[in-house]
Structure 1
Amino acid sequence: MNRTPVNPWPWSLRLGYNQAEIVEGMGRQLICAGQTAVDGEGNPRHAADMRGQIELSLNNLEVVLAEARMTLANVIQVKVYTTDVDEALKNFDVLGVRFGRLDAAPPMTLLGVSRLALPPLMFEIEAIAAD
């Protein structure tokens, strides 16, 4: 799979994502459900801790990807839903570190929502991956 970044403006790179990517030579595609800060039994964790919720949500996404023999490097699109955009942005370095160490900057959308499926949850990440 070949990925070519498309960035008519450089500002999004400072935030860790490309405006778009051309993806060619793709084989499998994995559509991931939104991953949140829940444990293996589906119980919410890290109430009122945005950073903890982002980290656990990414951990859960990595587990799903690994089950499909993929990593964050395979992610070609990210959608983030949060009940507090400002607090999520304060902690977005967590995403930058995880994707950045793989030299990945998938196109991303960040949406503020009034709530997520379970009231203690503040952050949810949905991804599409390919290889």
Structure 2
Amino acid sequence: MEKTLINPWHWQDQLGYAQAVEVTQAHHTLYCAGQAAMDANGTPVEADMAGQLRAALDNVEAVLTTAGYNWSHVVRLNYFTTSIADFFPQYGAVVDRLAQHQCRAASTLVEVKALAFPNLLVEIEVTAAK
């Protein structure tokens, strides 16, 4: 598989994502359901935004690993949050984690009224290719 980042500008570089990712010669594509701060029994984890982001990223990583993928295969990351104002102060930890795995994906951030459970603050949806 070959990945090409498409960035007509440079401002997104400091935010750790790409405007678009072109994938050629991919043999497999993984479409992941949204991952939130849920424990192994499907119970929401009581935590603040920082804790829920860590838990959601851990769950994304568990799904990727179980399917035989890793962060370098991720081409799209969609973030859904109940509060962009609470999300952005914690985003640096997300950027650091993605950079650690050389992950630069096309991304979208959307504020929503609610997620599946009332105490969930963030959900992350991923597409990966290899």
Q: Normalised by the shorter chain, which TM-score bucket?
A: over 0.9
User: Gaps (5+ residues) in structure 1?
Assistant: none
**Residue type matched to 2:44 in 1?**
P
**Residue type matched to 1:46 in 2?**
E
Partner of 2:43: 43
Partner of 2:103: 104
SS, match of residue 17 in structure 1: coil
Measured in 1, the distance between the counterparts of 2:102 and 2:60 equals: 18
- Is 2:25 the counterpart of 1:25? yes
TM-score by length of 1: 0.96
Question: CA RMSD of the aligned region, Å?
Answer: 0.8
Measured in 1, the distance between the counterparts of 2:127 and 2:23 equals: 12
TM-score by length of 2: 0.97
Shift of 1:93: 1.4
User: Gaps (5+ residues) in structure 2?
Assistant: none
Measured in 2, the distance between the counterparts of 1:126 and 1:104 equals: 14
Runs of 4+ residues deviating >3 angstroms: none
Measured in 2, the distance between the counterparts of 1:32 and 1:110 equals: 16
**Residue type matched to 1:70 in 2?**
Y
Residues 56-80 of structure 1, C-alpha deviation per residue, up to 9 Å, x if partnerless?
A: 0000010000111111111110110
Shift of 1:94: 2.0
Partner of 2:113: 114
Partner of 2:67: 68
**Residue type matched to 1:41 in 2?**
N
Partner of 1:54: 53
